[in-house]
Homo-oligomer: A and B are copies of this chain.
Amino acid sequence: MSQDDAGIDLDTSLGYLLKEASSALRVAMEAVLRPLNMTITHYSCLELLSQRPGLSNSELARGTFVTRQSMNVLLQSLERDGQVIRPAEAPAGKALPARLTDRGRRSLQSATAAVRSVEVRMLESLTPTEQAAARAALRSMVASLKAG
């Protein structure tokens, strides 16, 4: 069997390793967010809104890597729960700028601390130089994938 027919070498494939790492991160984040009754997408939405108030549904969807339909379902439940508010009418176009309520900010607070602790643990064995190299490599991969 020639090398070209041998499939993807799972022990060295960066694609497989990327999936393994993101899976491990997802599991670790779910573990710390579950006690707070929060999913990863839920947390990501609040974190994004905290840092960029006024983002629309579609912008939040892109920032959390889900479809705008999925984000819309989440936003509606967050609105019902009083964590997020959106105006009844769009100030321009159709995009509705969303904002956190005080309740949303309180929910986010403990979640951010929990997620930060996971990220710290993930990076504990990497030097700042190695972290910078990883950042650069990941950015390059993202750019190449999106260019295709």
Contact = CB atoms under 8 A, between A and B. Distances in A.
Interface of A: 5, 7-8, 10, 12-15, 17-25, 27-29, 47-48, 50-51, 63, 65, 108-109, 112, 115-116, 118-119, 121-126, 130-131, 133-146, 148
Nearest to A10: B51
A148 B28 contact: yes
B143 A125 contact: yes
12 contacts: A7-B50, A12-B135, A14-B123, A14-B131, A14-B134, A15-B29, A15-B118, A15-B122, A24-B142, A122-B144, A125-B144, A126-B140
A118 B17 CA distance: 14
Given A8-B119, A50-B7, A119-B13, A21 B138 contact: yes
Specify how many copies of this chain sit in the oligomer: 2
B119 A144 contact: no
- Interface SS of chain A: helix, strand, loop or mixed? helix
A90 to B, nearest CB: 25
Nearest to A32: B148
A22 B18 contact: yes
A122 to B, nearest CB: 5
Nearest to A124: B144
A25 B15 contact: yes
Contacts of A17: 135, 138-139, 142
